[in-house]
Structure 1
Amino acid sequence: MTERELARRARHRLAVLRHAEEVSGNVAATCRYYGISRQCFYTWRRRYEAEGLDGLKDRSSAPHHTPHATTADVVEKILWLRRQYHFGPAKIAMYLHRYHDVAISTSGVWRILKKVGLNRLPASQRYKRRSIRWKRYEKQRPGHQLQVDVKFIEPLGQSGRKKRYYQYTAIDDCTRLRVLRAYPRNDQKTAIQFIDYVPSKLPFAVEQVQTDNGQEFGQAFHWHLLDKGIGHVRIKPRTPRLNGKVERSHRIDSEEFYRLLEGQVIDDVNLFNSKLQEWEDYYNYHRPHGALAGQTPYERLRQKAQDPLS
């Protein structure tokens, strides 16, 4: 509330006090007229007699002592995660519990963000609501199906003739374990090279691969998978939501990995793959996943190994 509004409310209360003295001559009648209690009237009068007009201004209702208030260092961590990674309240609460042993509710995180005006993300980062909702599904067995897709990478800090890179991504439908690799080309030969690389990075056999209808996943790629004893299915054209897990993981890459590489010069595919490997390891072994109730993909894999029906 502004100082001008506080002064206006104080003058109104002074008018109530003067009404009892100069107009009605009766406190009860004045209280009925203005719709206030006599206790409220006498409180205003005592404060006016002691402090004058300033005593009639609204005072803070905050408690004098808050032993359970969130400490400043925790608030600082919350704000850093919000500004640095654009995490939502639930993800921030997961990170604090996992890495700092701080237990705070999702609503508590939201109230802190609301207080400092960070409860709404920048327009470019907000979730776009859709009129049609889709039911989330999940395969129950690791390796039952991999979703594979390609992400075009904008040149990072290069000048002159810029090199193009393509991030090939495979994500296990059950555990969300991912395999990442960058290549300077995007064709069937590269896709076959990537799909031959994937099994060496996964601790389980792959039964089926799901892709979109891109030219890099054409007939040569299809028959190569069948020769390896792996099934290959393509999603319906113009329905990227059917490859939703790998599409969502690419959005995470943009928000939490590539955004932090801005300003760095990466003009060598080996250096690019070195950075991607660091990010892949963090994603698989350390990053809590919202869809896995805060588990990492590797923790979900261990859980499935112990209890396949979980």
Structure 2
Amino acid sequence: MHTGLVVFWVKLRQKGYTRSVTSLWRMLKKLDLAPIKPPNPKYIPKPYEKMYYPGQRVQIDVKFVPDVCIVGEAKAEGKKFYQYTAIDEYSRFRYLEAFEEHSSYSSAVFLEHMLQAFKFPVECVQTDNGMEFTKRLGNSEKPTLTLFEASLKQRKIRHKLIKPYTPRHNGKVERSHRKDNEYFYAVHTFYSFEDFKKQLAVHSRKYNNFPMRPLNWKTPAEYVKAFLTNGEVF
């Protein structure tokens, strides 16, 4: 029986059982018949698809800047700041940009600036199903393209959407955001949007020039440069 104690008790009551669920539990335990909860199926993550060159796939996501980091006049005015992040799956090279809103327009602007910052062509962009990227989960039966999707289509860049409500499928950018929390937002405050923008740019440069274990202790900048110079893979 895998229905659970409460369901079992309710079914017994329907057949005339009058004792409480606690009494039923004690009796089952005394008779060594206590229900055993079956283990949940273990989630086995699929291995990441290996990328073979920069731009093969880029993950994009938006991070809400913690309210506690916004101080002074910006806090008094109720300002909200957002960090747009793009990370190349092959090299871990990132492009970050500060915005005061997250919308399809902001996403399209970010895409344009990202393509300028990356020194390599981008074949595929992967995002979640947020309204700043797509109307796929909206109320319309025939959703139109967002400005972000139209920009991708114009540039012939494939748009891959992850499965709804599974942020782990955008794991590299999600993991990088957790590191941002630990090493950046936990120790910085911002008095204005311009202040946030400048500090985020410094943080981005540090990230791209920091050696990483998945890159054989090379920096993302070194990894990209080596590939673009002679196709070298460390």
Same fold (TM over 0.5): yes
CA RMSD in angstroms comes to 1.8
Superposed CA deviations along residues 257-285 of structure 1, whole A, max 9, x for unmatched, are 11121xx3x13222211111111111112
1:200 matched residue in structure 2: 116
C-alpha distance in 2 between matches for 1:185 and 1:269: 11
1:298 maps to amino acid: A
1:225 matched to 2:141? The reply is no
Q: Cα offset for 1:242?
A: 1.4
5 Å matches for 1:4-83? Answer: none
Preserved contact between residue 140 and residue 308 of structure 1 (Cα < 8 Å): no
Preserved contact between residue 163 and residue 267 of structure 1 (Cα < 8 Å): no
C-alpha distance in 2 between matches for 1:224 and 1:307: 29
Please, which moves more after superposition, 289-298 or 173-182? 289-298
1:290 matched residue in structure 2: 213
Superposed CA deviations along residues 85-118 of structure 1, whole A, max 9, x for unmatched, are xxxxxxxxxxxxxxxxxxxxxxxxxxxxxxxxxx
1:148 matched to 2:60? The reply is yes
Query: What stretches of structure 2 of length at least 5 have no aligned partner?
Result: 1-41, 135-144
1:258 matched residue in structure 2: 185
2:86 maps to amino acid: A
1:149 maps to amino acid: D
Seq. identity, %: 36
Three-state SS of the structure 2 residue aligned to 1:215 is coil
Q: Cα offset for 1:309?
A: 5.4
C-alpha distance in 2 between matches for 1:278 and 1:226: 32
2:11 matched residue in structure 1: none
Q: Cα offset for 1:179?
A: 0.4
Q: Cα offset for 1:308?
A: 4.7
C-alpha distance in 2 between matches for 1:193 and 1:272: 18
1:170 matched residue in structure 2: 86
1:272 matched to 2:206? The reply is no
C-alpha distance in 2 between matches for 1:233 and 1:136: 15
Three-state SS of the structure 1 residue aligned to 2:76 is coil
5 Å matches for 1:82-121? Answer: none
**Quick check: which has more Rg, 1 or 2?**
1
Number of equivalences: 177
* TM-score between both structures, scaled by the size of structure 1: 0.54
1:138 matched residue in structure 2: 50
1:303 matched to 2:226? The reply is yes
Three-state SS of the structure 2 residue aligned to 1:243 is helix
Q: Cα offset for 1:175?
A: 0.5
Q: Cα offset for 1:223?
A: 1.9
Preserved contact between residue 66 and residue 185 of structure 2 (Cα < 8 Å): no
Q: Cα offset for 1:185?
A: 0.6
Between 1 and 2, higher relative CO (CA 8 Å, sep ≥ 6) is seen in 2
C-alpha distance in 1 between matches for 2:45 and 2:79: 39
